[in-house]
Amino acid sequence: MKIAVLASGRGSNLQALIDEWLEGSLPVEFMGVGSDQIKAQALLRAEKVGIPTRAFPRENYPDKQAQEDDILNWLEELGVELLVLAGYMRILSPYFIRRAECLIVNIHPSLLPAFPGLNAQRQALEYGVKVSGCTVHFVDEGMDTGPIIMQEAVPVYEEDTVETLSQRILQVEHKIYPEAIRLIALGKVECQGRKVTIKRHS
């Protein structure tokens, strides 16, 4: 399956995907890694293993739609079948979602539908939950509202800070994101309405 990744920062989830890919356990072809930040570490991680990269800095475009059009054209030129958001800090517009000719997936550091949007770990701590986690989901036009593919819980401890909880969730993200993408690439993920079914034994 031909995939592309959009990332804004360090790219640690991208690295988890690259590691699985290099080991031969992720049946995908990395067509490109893009970022809205010219100096994103994610771009360096991709270049290191020979994956083509592109930067789409917002300041280079007259408006958001022009930036999104450029990204859409890039995906189309590469023949991308699955767009993976890995710490991409810009919200894709409904215009983008409707025009994209590929599936789009994201990972979010909470057990959706709890704590959507930014600072999910801080939201969880302020709310006082005892369990948080992360969610891999398809992207739709809402904020973290797309059909849920996979989730894993992470305990919240009384002494947790945003940093310690974020780190514990991130370790789980690095495990379930490659697994979800592997299942999608193998054709084992079916989505009907909001319900996602994973066929593990076929």
Q: Catalytic residue positions?
A: 108
Residue for token pair 């495990």: 175
- Do the bridges between strand 53-55 and strand 29-35 make them parallel or antiparallel, or are there none, so unpaired? parallel
How far from the centroid of its chain's Cα atoms is residue 124's Cα? 20
Asked if 193 and 102 touch (Cβ cutoff 8 Å), the reply is: no
Contacts for 58 with CB less than 8 Å, ≥ 6 apart: 36, 64, 67, 90
Tell me the two tokens of residue 201. Answer: 């034994």
Tell me the two tokens of residue 163. Answer: 């940093």
Beta bridge partners of 155: 131
Q: What angle do CA 195, 197, 201 make, to 5 degrees?
A: 170
Q: What are phi and psi of 90, to 5 degrees?
A: -110, 140
